[in-house]
Amino acid sequence: MTWEVLNIIGTLAFAISGALIAMEEDYDIVGVLVLGFTTAYGGSTIRNLLIGIPIESGPIWTQGNLVVAVFFTIILIFLIPDRWWIQYWNKWGIFFDAIGLASFAIQGALSAVGVNAPLSAVLVAATLTGSGGGMIRDVFAGRKPMIFRREIYALWATMGGLVVGLGIVQGPWTTGALFAGIVALRMCSVHYQWRLPRHSIS
């Protein structure tokens, strides 16, 4: 039950972030819906394609009630005046996004392990499930993907996949510890402005 609640929170947070990016780019309601759903479900859809899980087994086909909740959440974000809620999102949005990152990364890794995929595929599945939706969202919005140039993001999903792929996660306690660790690392990377090394050619 706890895992389902975290999955719901993460999915809705991803959907809201996609909708906000679309609204910043002045997209119409269709564009807002597309970016919202893409951010929430794009990563898991690509993951299933890459590791050979039937596409109809993906969450957008199996989580009917949550899909409806995502739809109405995006509509509310589109309709409600910004001043009523944007201050709360700016305060709590990163935390909810971190919950989504951790939840989705672990789900992706476990999905790959469940089909006996090699460690490399587990890492890819965790990374794509956790951050793939955001990459697609940024591409659709005509932006450089945030995860490649700002705070450390995808790396935490990859590290989560490594822990799962090495067989360290064996039950609810270790899964919970991994979840908390990913959330904590993501929040620390934002708070302390951690960055990966970069090199630009002028």
pLDDT tens digits for range 134-191: 889 889 988 888 777 767 889 999 999 999 999 998 888 898 899 999 999 999 998 8
Q: What is the pLDDT of residues 58-88, one digit of tens each?
A: 667 777 789 999 999 999 999 987 766 777 7
Mean pLDDT value of segment 7-15: 85
Kindly state whether residue 198 falls inside one of the protein's structural domains: no
Domain containing 14 equals 2-191
- The amino acid sitting at 167 is G
Kindly state whether residue 186 falls inside one of the protein's structural domains: yes
Residue-level pLDDT at 198: 80
Kindly state whether residue 40 falls inside one of the protein's structural domains: yes
Tell me: pLDDT of 1 over 70.
no
Kindly state whether residue 171 falls inside one of the protein's structural domains: yes
CB atoms within 10 A of CB 29: 14
C-alpha span between 61 and 45 (Å, rounded): 10
Tell me: pLDDT of 200 over 80.
no
pTM, to two decimals: 0.86
Tell me: pLDDT of 193 over 70.
yes
- Split into its structural domains, the chain has a count of 1
To the nearest 10°, report the CA torsion of 82, 87, 90, 95.
-120
Kindly state whether residue 13 falls inside one of the protein's structural domains: yes
Kindly state whether residue 109 falls inside one of the protein's structural domains: yes
Kindly state whether residue 151 falls inside one of the protein's structural domains: yes
Contact status, residue 89 vs residue 79, Cβ threshold 8 Å: no
Nearest to 59 by CA among 50, 72, 46: 46
Kindly state whether residue 201 falls inside one of the protein's structural domains: no
**Average pLDDT taken over every residue of the chain:** 87
